[in-house]
Amino acid sequence: MIGQAFYGDAKTIFRYDETKKLFGMAPLQWVNFANKWRPLKLKAVATLLCIALFSAFIILIPVKASGTKLIFESVNWKENFSKNPFDFFK
């Protein structure tokens, strides 16, 4: 239970919590499961996003190896996107 619960006059009263601005009800097992795995899921998503961005960088940016140095070449994106991709097959 997230919020406030009171018991009075043989009634249980559930109330919106003004301080936390939350109200919700769920079985305790679901809440424990979410509390346990949510941080791990967020870290996994962040890690996969970093891997995807790094992979896209490697795939899209032309790189030349000169001895022990890596040279990242500049790309003219306007020229690449203004070309007709089907001109290659003519």
Is the pTM higher than 0.75? no
Q: With cut-offs at 50, 70 and 90, classify the pLDDT of residue 47.
A: very high
Question: Which residues, 6 or more positions from 12, have their beta carbon under 8 angstroms from its beta carbon?
Answer: 5, 6
Mean pLDDT within 10-15: 73
Q: With cut-offs at 50, 70 and 90, classify the pLDDT of residue 51.
A: very high
The total number of structural domains in the chain stands at 1
18 three-state secondary structure: coil
Q: Give percent of the chain above pLDDT 90.
A: 19
Gap between the Cα atoms of 72 and 76, Å rounded: 13
3 three-state secondary structure: coil
Domain that holds residue 20: 4-89
